[in-house]
Structure 1
Amino acid sequence: MKGRQIILDQVNDREAAALMVDGKLSDFLIDGDAPRPGTIYRAVADRPIKGQGGMFLQTPDGSAFLRQVKGLSPGQTLLVQVTGYAEDGKAIPVTARVLFKSRFAIVTPEAPGLNVSRSIRDEDTRDTLKGIAHDVMRENGMGLILRSSCATAEPEQIAEDIAAMQDLAEAILADAEGAAEMLLEGDGPHLVAWREWTDPAEVVTHEAGFEDLGVLDALDELQFSKVALGAGAYMFVEPTRALVAVDVNTGSDTSPAATLRANLAAAKDLPRQCRIRGIGGQITLDLAPMAKKDRRAFETAIRTALRADGVETVMAGWTPLGHFELQRKRERLPVAALLS
Structure 2
Amino acid sequence: MKQIIITSTEYEIKAALLEDGVLTEFFIERDDKKRIVGNIYKGKVANVLPGMESAFVDIGLKKNSFLYVKDLREFEEKYLDGIEHSKKPIEEILNVNDNVIVQILKEPTGTKGARVTTHYTIPGKYLVLMPNNDYIAISKKIGNEEERERLKNILQDIKPDGVGVIIRTDAQGKDEKYFIKEIEYLTKQWKEVEHKSYNAQIGDLIYKDSTLVERVLRDIFSSEIDHLVVDSEDNYWKVIDYISTFSDSNLKLKVQLYHESEPIFEHYGINSELKKVLQKKVWLDCGGYLIIEKTEALVSIDVNTGKNTGTYDLESTVFQTNMEAAKEIPKQLRLRNLGGIIIIDFIDMKLEEDQKKVVEILEENLSKDRIKNNIVRFTELGLVEMTRKRTGKELSKYFLEKCPHCNGTGMIKSSEFIIDDIIMEIRFLSVDEDIKRIKLKVSNQLYAKVQSLYLDFIEKYLKDYNKEFEVLLDRSLERDKYEIVLEN
* Structure 1 residue 274 displacement after superposition: 1.3
Q: Residue 165 of structure 1: CA displacement?
A: 0.9
After superposition, give the CA deviation of every residue in 1:109-165 in whole Å (9 maximum; x if it has no partner): 1221234435445566556545653554333x0012221211244543332222111
What's 2:186 paired with? 165
Match status 1:261 vs 2:320: yes
Moved more, 252-261 or 310-319: 310-319
Structure 1: how far apart are the matches of 2:292 and 2:21? 22
Q: TM-score, normalised by structure 1?
A: 0.88
Q: 1: distance between equivalents of 2:100 and 2:47?
A: 14
**4+ aligned runs moved over 6 Å, structure 1:** none
- Secondary structure at the aligned position of 2:120 is classed as coil
The one of 228, 239, 245 equivalent to 1:203 is: 228
**Equivalent residue, structure 2, for 1:310:** 370
Aligned with residue 243 of structure 1, among 289, 292, 298: 298
Gaps of 5+ in 1: none
Alpha-carbon offset, residue 187 of structure 1: 2.7
Matching residue of 2:25: 27
Q: Superposed, which structure 2 residues align to 1:262-281 within 5 Å?
A: 262-281=321-340
Give, as a single letter, the amino acid of the residue that structure 1 aligns with 2:159: M
2:359 corresponds, among 299, 305, 310, to 299
Q: With structure 2 as the length reference, what TM-score do the two structures score?
A: 0.63
Tell me if structure 1 keeps the 8 A contact 2:43–2:57. yes
More divergent stretch after superposition (30-39 vs 92-101):
30-39
* 2-structure distance, mates of 1:331, 1:11: 24
1:280 to partner: Cα distance: 2.1
- The correspondence of residues 276-287 of structure 1 with structure 2, limited to 5 A, is 276-287=335-346
CA separation of 1:11/1:325 partners in 2, compared to 1, >3 Å: closer, same or farther?
Answer: farther
Which structure's CA Rg is the greater one? 2
Which one of 129, 141, 159 corresponds to residue 107 of structure 1?
A: 129
User: Contact 1:231 / 1:253 at 8 angstroms: preserved in 2?
Assistant: no
**Stretch moving more, 55-64 or 326-335:** 326-335
Which residue of structure 1 aligns with residue 432 of structure 2? none
CA contact (8 A) 1:12 1:339 kept: no
3-state DSSP of counterpart to 1:89: coil
Report deviation, 1:306: 2.5
Instruction: Tell me which amino acid in the other structure corresponds to 1:89.
Output: T
Higher RCO (CA 8 Å, separation ≥ 6 residues)? 1
Question: Is the partner of 1:42 in helix, strand or coil?
Answer: strand
1:81 aligns with 2:79: no
Contact 2:377 2:385 in 1 (8 A): yes
The amino acid across from 1:268 in the alignment is K
Task: Tell me how far apart the structure 1 counterparts of residues 10 and 279 of structure 2 sit (CA, whole Å).
Answer: 19
Structure-2 separation of matches of 1:162 and 1:229: 46
Letter paired with 1:237: I
TM-aligned CA distance change 1:312 to 1:328, over 3 Å: same
Confirm or deny that 1:17 pairs with 2:15: yes
8 A contact 2:286–2:324 mirrored in 1: no
Change beyond 3 A, Cα 1:49–1:11: farther
TM-superposed deviation, 1:96? 1.4
Alpha-carbon distance between aligned partners in 2 of 1:12 and 1:292, rounded to the nearest angstrom = 55
Question: Mean Cα displacement is larger for which, 87-96 or 234-243?
Answer: 234-243
Residue 185 (1) aligns with residue 245 (2)? no
- Distance, in Å, in 2 between the alignment partners of 1:11 and 1:233 is 38
Give the deviation of 1:91 after TM superposition.
Answer: 0.7
Deviation at 1:298, TM superposition (A): 3.0
Structure with more strand by fraction? 1
| Residue range with higher mean Cα deviation, 150-159 or 267-276 | 150-159
Q: Which moved more, 1:35-44 or 1:315-324?
A: 315-324
Structure number having the greater helix percentage:
2
Code of the aligned partner of 2:276: E
Shift of 1:230: 2.2
Partner letter of residue 24 of structure 2? S
**Residue type of the alignment partner of 1:272:** K
Question: Greater shift after overlay, 119-128 or 221-230?
Answer: 119-128
AA of the residue aligned to 2:230: T
Maintained 8 Å contact 2:291/2:301: yes
Query: Over residues 13-42 of structure 1, what are the superposed CA-to-partner deviations in whole Å (9 max), with x where a residue is unaligned?
Result: 322211101000111111252642111112
- Structure 2 unmatched runs, 5+: 71-89, 233-262, 401-488
Structure 1 position 319, deviation (Å) = 5.4
1:86 and 1:330 in contact (8 A); partners too: no
